[in-house]
Structures are given as C-alpha cells and as structure tokens.
Structure 1
Amino acid sequence: MNYNQARPFILAGFSLGGKSVVELMKHLSEKERKQMIAAYVSGYKVTLADVEKVPWIKPATDSIDTR
C-alpha cells in the first residue's frame, strides 16, 4: 500500500472513530508507524490493556511530542 507516496500522516478520530484509530494502530506495520506523526483519540478511552498489548501506543509527553 503506497497511496500517499510514503509521506508522513496523522490519525484522528472521535468516539467510535477514536476506537477505530486505536484498533488501526494495533495493526500498523513498522514502516507505517515510522511515517505516522501522531494519533489523536478523543471521546474514547485508551486503556492500560491497549498500551500493554501494543507497546508503540504511547501518550505524548508535551505539546510538541511527535514520537
């Protein structure tokens, strides 16, 4: 899959869309994760179980954190 010619991207979703972002993040390849700048999840709780299952799901540490 190369729809965006390997450009960086963000994921964003609210409520059910937020859940979809979390589920999508669980299945991203390493290459896709390196292209992703940030994921914004609103209206849905990212659980400790999500973070334990998928170690690349990490909260931002400040307002300019992108990795």
Structure 2
Amino acid sequence: MVVAVADAARRVWRTVAWYVNGVTGQSRYAAYVAHERTRHPDHEPLSEREFWRAHYAAQDADPGTRCC
C-alpha cells in the first residue's frame, strides 16, 4: 500500500515537472539537441547558451502576435 502511494506520488511529480518544463520552454533545448543528433549527426549542436541567444534573437526579429 505504501509503495503504491509512493509510486503514484512519483508519477504525479513527474507529470507536473513535465508540464511545467513544457510551459516554461525548458524542454526546448533538449528537443533541439535530440533533433540535431538524429537529423544532423555530423553537426555539433549549439551550446545551451548559444541556443537561447539565437531563440530570443529570432523572437525579437519576428515578434508575431506578442504584444511587447
């Protein structure tokens, strides 16, 4: 019984963490690296810092529907 509750709590925690990482964008870099490794194995992916700089530069260049 205690093990089942602990397993359920772990599943809930992982689900919440997954959701928060998706909403905040934290999972974007991991998705980028996975894409680069599968689609472009001969190309070294950007560092996390370089990735976010390029990401924000692209957002600033084309703000889309953002208000600010």
TM-score, reference length from structure 2:
0.25
Q: Which has the higher strand share?
A: 1
Q: Which has the higher helix share?
A: 2
TM-score, reference length from structure 1:
0.25
Q: Which protein is bigger by CA-based radius of gyration?
A: 2
